[in-house]
């Protein structure tokens, strides 16, 4: 089975999901106030009864409605999941990779409309005019994957670049969109080339540290000596299904492999929308050029979301509305048992309906 820590639903699908969702309780009196706290409690209890295992953070207007964990992080040792347990959340990393590109642009290290031939002298002619913004927007024409053996395939940065550059483009750059993990790995290569630092080092000091994300990292890093990670439970296995022990290769760098907690995801949103990572002008540019592609409108509010999961039971989802400061953050190690995306979307609708 193809290993994957890639996006489960994208910006466009998020919009479709919201447009297809009904009122949290169609039979209820629309004029009757919703007991939000009780409804949040009931929905979490139902999720646990259906087999959910992981962590949940729900907040509205900056007020916490739930921050809790359920199930076991390691069934063999009976170690429970806690709100400090870190989970592999896969493609949620793309949000940070994109932010790193906008931050480097803000710092004057690159231009968003810079073409690949200005960064990589070895780029083939058919890809020379692809811009960095087209990579961010999944409109460069690259394929979904550049590996042949899955996320843990041994692959160096230069090998990944060669594989990506060898792809036949799906369409002329800028004329269409196709979700591309390869494009985001190429963005990680750009980040290393421009910053002069390894991708993981740049992300740690430029993004994690300003956000206070001390319980976040990538596979096989020393941080997991002090932060517990959840083992994934699914039919597929790689090693002991613990991301603390998995290799992080350029089959995945930049497009997946983020291991984090619901608390750190919350801190990331605080930092991103609070000005600790990029300026207000850059954030506005990101909203116009990146977030807006698949944002959903619910009433008068704009809602964003990211998700990531793989074949090993681990995954995460973040649904948030910056205006009313509504957030639903969920991580799991029983991904195939309970639909965390539907849960997060429905919970966000509940909170927005109560505004």
Q: What pLDDT, on a 0 to 100 scale, did the predictor assign at position 276?
A: 97
Does pLDDT of 347 surpass 50? yes
**Are 310 and 2 spatial neighbours (Cβ–Cβ below 8 Å)?**
no
Q: Residue 292's pLDDT band (boundaries 50, 70, 90)?
A: confident
316, 333, 152: which is closest to 233 by C-alpha?
333
Taking domain 11-353, whether its CATH number is 3.40.710.10 is answered by yes
- What's the pLDDT tens digit per position in 84-110? 999 999 999 999 999 999 999 999 999
Does pLDDT of 9 surpass 70? no
φ, ψ at 269 (rounded to 5°): -65, -40
**What residue spans of the chain are helical by DSSP H?**
11-20, 36-49, 93-106, 132-136, 157-165, 181-195, 199-203, 209-211, 262-274, 280-289, 340-353
Average confidence score pLDDT of the chain? 92
Give the CA dihedral 260, 351, 7, 180, nearest 10 degrees: -120
**Are 53 and 72 spatial neighbours (Cβ–Cβ below 8 Å)?**
yes
**Are 66 and 263 spatial neighbours (Cβ–Cβ below 8 Å)?**
no
Rounded mean pLDDT, 240-250: 97
For 344, the 3-state DSSP assignment is helix
7, 8, 17: which is closest to 295 by C-alpha?
17
**Are 142 and 124 spatial neighbours (Cβ–Cβ below 8 Å)?**
no
Measured over the CA atoms of residue 269, residue 139, residue 9 and residue 3, the dihedral's sign is negative
- What's the pLDDT tens digit per position in 183-230? 999 999 999 999 999 999 999 999 999 999 999 999 999 999 999 999
Does pLDDT of 8 surpass 60? no
**Are 216 and 112 spatial neighbours (Cβ–Cβ below 8 Å)?**
no
Return the domain boundaries, the chain. 11-353
């Amino acid at each position: 089975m193809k290993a994957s820590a890639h996006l489960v639903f994208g910006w466009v699908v998020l919009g479709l999901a919201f447009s297809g969702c009904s009122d949290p309780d169609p039979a209820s009196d629309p004029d009757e106030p919703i007991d939000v706290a009780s409804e949040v409690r009931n929905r979490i209890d139902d999720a646990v009864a259906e087999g959910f295992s992981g962590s949940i953070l729900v907040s509205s207007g900056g007020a916490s409605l739930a921050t809790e964990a359920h199930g076991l992080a390691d069934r063999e040792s009976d170690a429970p999941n806690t709100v400090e347990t870190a989970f592999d959340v896969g493609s949620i990393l793309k949000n940070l990779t994109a932010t790193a590109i906008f931050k480097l642009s803000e710092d004057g290290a690159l231009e968003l409309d810079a073409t690949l031939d200005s960064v990589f002298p070895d780029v083939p002619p058919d890809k020379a005019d692809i811009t960095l913004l087209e990579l961010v927007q999944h409109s460069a024409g690259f394929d979904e994957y550049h590996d042949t053996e899955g996320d843990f395939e041994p692959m160096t940065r230069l090998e990944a670049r060669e594989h990506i550059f060898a792809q036949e483009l799906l369409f002329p750059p800028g004329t269409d969109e196709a979700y591309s993990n390869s494009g985001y790995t190429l963005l990680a290569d750009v980040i290393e080339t421009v910053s002069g630092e390894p991708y993981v080092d740049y992300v740690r000091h430029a993004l994690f540290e300003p956000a206070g994300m001390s319980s976040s990292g990538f596979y096989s890093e020393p941080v997991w000596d002090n932060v517990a990670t959840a083992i994934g439970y699914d039919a597929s296995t790689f090693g002991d299904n613990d991301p603390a022990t998995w290799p992080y290769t350029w089959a995945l760098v930049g497009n997946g492999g983020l291991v984090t907690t619901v608390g750190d995801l919350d801190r990331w949103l605080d930092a991103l929308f609070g000005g600790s990572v990029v300026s207000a002008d850059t954030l506005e540019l990101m909203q116009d050029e990146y977030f807006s592609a698949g944002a959903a409108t619910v009433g008068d509010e704009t809602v964003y979301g990211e998700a990531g999961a793989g074949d090993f039971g681990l995954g995460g989802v973040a649904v948030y509305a910056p205006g009313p400061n509504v957030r639903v953050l969920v991580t799991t190690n029983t991904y195939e048992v309970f639909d965390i995306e539907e849960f997060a979307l429905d919970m966000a609708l509940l909170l927005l309906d109560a505004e």
